[in-house]
Structure 1
Amino acid sequence: MSTMLRVDLRGGVVADLPAVDTIMQAAFDPRFGEAWTRNQVLGLLSMPGVWLTIATIGADPAGFALSRRVLDEAELLLLATVPTFRRRGVGAAILRSVIADSTSQGARTLHLEVRSGNDAIKLYRSAGFMKVGERHQYYRGPAGQAFDALTYRRDL
């Protein structure tokens, strides 16, 4: 069994985008077409209600989440963990932070979407998320293959 790590969390800023991009490229398998571009992340960060959470282990970036809140609903848009830090508490710490931040901002529900078959589903279910929908063939890989997206919700 892997050793749990001490995860430090902080709010992210535009200067963190190179690290976010590096984490995303390492974490998201290109076969599934899930990674966003730096410009997509930057564009969202400039919008009201959007926040970035950065996780570090010592001085090393270990993961991040990009989230947004509109009125009383929040959405986890992206969550990624450096592969060498997976299953060691990093993703769970980031998710707990997003839940706490969403709650403190007045959100009553937190939504997310995940590719069918993604190992992160276990993390989301353990944190109280319930499947509420499915988008057939939503994600597109670079070779045109399609993958289903599952939508989840957690009351706060």
Structure 2
Amino acid sequence: MTGTVRIVTARVGDVPAVMRVMEAAFDAAYGEAWSAAQLLTLFALPSARVAVAWDGDRACGFSAARMAGPESELLLLAVDPADRGRGIGQRLMDDWQAWAAEQGAEDYFLEMRADNDAIHLYARAGFSECGRRAAYYRGRDGVMRDAITMRRSGRNDRSS
């Protein structure tokens, strides 16, 4: 690890590197990871963006988001387990919200499994629960887990 992480907008050629991170980061027990074909659909949407965190020539994290009017939704965010604790998740969150603000976002949304440790990252970034889908995720262990929808308003960001 070089210690210098840069975040850039992904290109189609980056999909294999993003998929490597996705497969390492998402617990297969929940089926939350996207396929390469699903990820590629975002590149055709002018209202979507995939960003990759690079440590040298190795992808160590990524985010995928989209705009819908004045709202932006974080679709995916992942950091390679070997790179967690380095602030990469926070940098990807900041990058997403900066991009979305440039696109005119006033509100930011994301959805996650209720027992996902990333809830701490999202709470530190100013997100709070605004909805819940009971028993939305079924793990391979048969246990059902809620999905939490989180929101952060960006309206106050422009008033300073």
TM-score by length of 2: 0.90
Q: Superposed, which structure 2 residues align to 1:3-152 within 5 Å?
A: 5-142=3-140, 144-152=142-150
Give the number of equivalent residue pairs.
Answer: 152
Q: Secondary structure at the match of 1:88?
A: coil
Conserved? CA contact 1:67–1:78, under 8 Å = yes
Shift of 1:8: 0.4
One-letter code of the match for 2:21? I
What is the TM-score when the length of structure 1 is the normalising length?
Answer: 0.92
2:42 and 2:50 in contact (8 A); partners too = no
Residue type of the partner of 1:66?
A
C-alpha separation between the residues in 1 aligned to 2:81 and 2:110?
A: 21
CA distance in 1, matches of 2:77, 2:119: 12
Secondary structure of 1:21's partner? Answer: helix
Query: Matched residue of 2:29: which SS?
Result: helix
Structure 1 gap ranges (5+): none
Higher RCO by CA contacts (8 Å cutoff, separation 6 or greater)? 1
Deviation at 1:6, TM superposition (A): 3.0
What code does the residue aligned with 1:148 have?
D
State the Cα deviation string for residues 42-68 of structure 1 (Å, max 9, x = none). 123212300011001122111000000
Structure 2 segments unaligned to the other structure (5+ residues): 155-160
Note the C-alpha offset of 1:145: 4.1
Percent sequence identity is: 42
